[in-house]
Amino acid sequence: MRRLLARYLIASTVILLVSGFLGVLIRGSQAGVGKLDDNTWYALMTAHGLGAFVGWAGFAVMGLALWVLDELGYELRRAGRVLAQATWWLMVTGVAGVLISTIAMHFAGSWVFLYPLPFHGAQQWGRWATAVFSFSVLLAGLSIVTWCLAILHTVVGPTLHAVKSSLANRLGVALGLGYLWPKRFATNPTPVAYPVIPLTVIGIDMIIATLPLAVLLVEMIVQAFSPGVHVDPLLAKNVLWFFGHPVVYLLLFPAVAVYYYLVPKLAGRRLVAGNVIAISWAIAVIANVTVWAHHIYIDYPDHSHQATINVFMQPITFALVIPSALSLYSLGLTIYRSDWRWGVVETSLFLGLFSWLTAGLSGVVNATIAFDKVVHNTLWIVGHFHQMAIVNIGFVVFAGIYYVLPNVYDKPLWSEALGKWHIWLTFVGVTVNSGFWLWQGLNGAPRRFAELPSGYEASTRAALPFVAMIGFAQVLFVINMVQTLRGAERRVVTVPRDNLLYAVEGMITFLAIILAVGAGAAGFFLGRATAEHSSGGSGVTTSKTTTAQAAPSPGRAIFASAGCGGCHTLVAAGAHGTVGPNLDAAKPPLALVVDRVTHGKGAMPSFQGQLSALQIRTVATYVAAATAR
Amino acid sequence: MSGTDLTILIAYGATVVVATVATLGVWISTRSKRPVDAHRLAEFEKRWLLIVVAILVALLAATIWFTPYGKSTPANAQVVTVGARQFFWQVNPARVRVDRPVAFVTRSSDVNHGFGIYKGHRLVAQIQVVPGKSSTLVQTFHETGVYTVLCLEYCGLGHAGMRTTFEVTK
């Protein structure tokens, strides 16, 4: 177990560093620092999303879950060991494949690869990239399935002490049903340990959720080479989210198992939990696979049943609040008035619980259809899940690492103080950065925009110092890990704690906060100044098409409002689209522009219905004149 | 920011404040050495469950009526056809009347797009445009002026530049 756990934690931490770095690059580019070209931006977003979500947070808690079971006496048996090894290899290969298909082969279908987008790469990526990407995600999916099998095989083992021997009954015991029906799901001598319950729930659910996605991924690999094969896009969307929702809980539920195990241990008392907690997990095992449509509340095509499905999924999603609400109650009150030491592990777990609460509350907003219609696909969602993934799940991962180093590997932490700095700086950085995202989302800022519409520059730049703070904190983490693993002499502050030291510490902390806030404010005002300069007004005009000239001509206004700049480059109009021909290079004559805009050709649509003949003439004259120079 | 956005901001902000106070309470409590009656706290969890269920039922009852679904196109509606393709919109006609319902009948001829209508920085309404089907968004505008359309579903290279405008007049 020691070696297996180390492999999971080391691999996932390497993936964190790589995908975290990509995250800093794309957020920086959005703020105008180190501008990336659009397809690179979307390709890095794809790699960042899958890498950080599944390859870091998911992978790490999968390893910690196996360790928790081992600590509770549920040793991996032979088949379980083979499955756990296979899980590791499948995940590492899958993540490597995702990195290759995105960074080297330019696949930029986003990490939800919404069908049929992977087959419409706009000449940026081809079928091989789609095939390699789909295959890599399939490997990661299979990795999840083998992990589930390893978990289920382990929990139904002899340590469960189930009285009845049928597999169904033992699964029921592992789900905690013995707390509700002690006779039917009898155990002897002790009832099932709490951390086993969420692991059994997710072990069952992820198998159910992953298999349909696996079929879709195989279809995508086939379609990459036989373009005649198709799937209904709405069905594909449902299949994607049928997996996409439970995979969120592939992060949360194992993290809950770690909380259930570590919090009582560190608080020095049993988990404060009544039998009622078993009810919440019985709800979870069913609700987890019946709430997927809350990700597609805004889909309600004519003559489909999607709207009906969506309406039913709001109450079911609300039911999923119950496991979180009861767990937070139990864990919070286990810490309440306990001998909680506030070391790095305790701090990390405590801040994790707080973030679970606040990120859960923004999740309730997304779960409510009436609210989702104004926040769906805005940066609000991005704020919600970054907070959930990094400072809730991620803090369980960090707490796990800080805990196992001395307790499992006999490697006392090189510096506890540095560990606390890592946790606190990450907490502040992520919370503030997510706060900016939530705020921008409420103000309509769309997500997945390589370049945000104008008007959001100020808050994007203000957030940047906090992004840098998150990155810097991980550097501290790496230094601490390297020193600890090298067995460097422990750094313990032996200076007597007099008032002078407290004063100096206080001053340094104060200066650091002032510096971060100052940098944020500078970014805010700089961003606002540039926004005012470039757009000259409010509204979601794309800054791309509104730079350069001061007084827009009527032709230029039509060029901008009809969206010509989305596809074409025309420097005079500040347009840099790369989908259609570059107008500056093509220098089309007036008659040709009129003809193309009126009748369209190939990918170019006809604008006859949308623009009047006079408007077409005006925009054509503008284009011809602007490129003739 | 719309009224709904403001509701979210106030409700979320207030609950976060409550959550922060509760968290600080637990934090400070760890300085106390008084023992706790863990059994009583575990028993109270049943009541906590009822409280949570009551809050969720109340939120459900208050919000479920405001879904965007099932709005049939009224007889006096102005029908606007919306074509979505990588990476442009075709909105026809691009001028509608204020205070009269508009039915936007959207279709995509390639990938998923999101038809998002903005007035300034306020997201007025949105609907997903799934290829192979038509999706209808019924919306009445009470304010004249130029509205911007952005794509609210990632659709590839030109996604961020996929925009157009239409006008609401008297």
Give the SS3 label for residue B128. Answer: strand
Q: What is the pLDDT of residue A602?
A: 73
Could you write out the three-class secondary structure of A97-141? HHHHHHHHCCCCCCCCCCCCHHHCCCCCCCHHHHHHHHHHHHHHH
Q: How is residue A92 written in tokens?
A: 């590492």
Angle at A621 between CA A620 and CA A624, to 5 degrees: 85
How far is A264 from A434, CA to CA, in rounded Å? 30
- Picking from B117, B106, B107, the residue whose alpha carbon sits closest to that of residue B140 is B117
Q: What is the pLDDT of residue B65?
A: 94
Torsion of the alpha carbons at A468, A471, A477 and A482, rounded to the nearest 10: -120
Question: Which residues of A fall within a CB distance of 8 Å from B132?
Answer: 232-234
Q: What is the pLDDT of residue A548?
A: 39
Distances (CA, A) of A183 to A160, A166, A173, A192, A193: 15, 15, 11, 14, 17
Backbone angles phi, psi at B122, to 5 degrees: -95, 125
Q: What is the pLDDT of residue A540?
A: 65
Q: pTM, whole model, 2 decimals?
A: 0.89
Write the residue in B83, B112, B159 that is nearest to A449 by C-beta: B159
Q: How is residue B165 written in tokens?
A: 């405008």
Residue of B nearest to A299 (CA): B128
pLDDT in tens, chain B (170 residues): 889 999 999 999 999 999 999 999 999 999 887 888 888 999 999 999 999 999 999 999 999 999 999 888 889 999 999 999 999 999 989 999 999 999 999 999 999 999 999 999 999 999 999 999 999 999 999 999 999 999 999 999 999 989 999 999 99
Could you tell me how many residues make up chain A? 629
Q: What is the pLDDT of residue A552?
A: 64
Distances (CA, A) of A189 to A102, A161, A171, A192, A275: 53, 7, 17, 10, 17
Q: How is residue A117 written in tokens?
A: 């987008």
- Picking from A28, A39, A154, the residue whose alpha carbon sits closest to that of residue A103 is A39
CA distance A485 to chain B (A): 32
To 10 degrees, what angle do helices A276-287 and A306-319 make? 160
Write the residue in A233, A541, A563 that is nearest to B132 by C-beta: A233
Q: What is the pLDDT of residue A585?
A: 86
How far is B121 from B134, CA to CA, in rounded Å? 27
How far is A388 from A372, CA to CA, in rounded Å? 18
Q: What is the pLDDT of residue A589?
A: 87
How far is A228 from A55, CA to CA, in rounded Å? 33
* Contact across the interface for A375 and B8, Cβ inside 8 Å: yes
CA distance B102 to chain A (A): 16
Residue of A nearest to B73 (CA): A302
Q: What is the pLDDT of residue A556?
A: 85
Residue of B nearest to A369 (CA): B67
CA distance B22 to chain A (A): 9
Please state whether A377 falls in left (phi above 0), alpha (psi between -120 and 50) or beta.
left
Q: What is the pLDDT of residue B128?
A: 98
CA distance A69 to chain B (A): 24
Name A416's Cβ contacts closer than 8 Å, sequence gap at least 6: A343, A344
- Picking from B24, B151, B20, B26, the residue whose alpha carbon sits closest to that of residue A361 is B20
Question: Which residues of B fall within a CB distance of 8 Å from A443?
Answer: 1, 5, 121
How far is A403 from A418, CA to CA, in rounded Å? 15
Helix (H) or strand (E) holding A404: helix A395-409
Residue of A35, A102, A110, A120 to mutate, interface with B, max B Cβ within 10 Å: A120
**% residues pLDDT > 90 (chain B):** 86
Q: How is residue A626 written in tokens?
A: 């602007």
Question: Which ipTM score applies to this complex?
Answer: 0.97
How far is A309 from B67, CA to CA, in rounded Å? 13
Question: Which residues of A fall within a CB distance of 8 Å from B36?
Answer: 333, 336-338
- Profile chain A (629 residues) by mean pLDDT over runs of 10 residues: 94 97 95 92 97 97 97 95 98 97 96 95 93 98 98 95 93 95 91 96 97 97 94 97 96 98 96 90 96 96 95 96 96 94 96 97 96 97 97 98 94 93 96 96 96 92 94 96 87 61 72 78 73 54 43 78 83 80 88 88 78 87 84
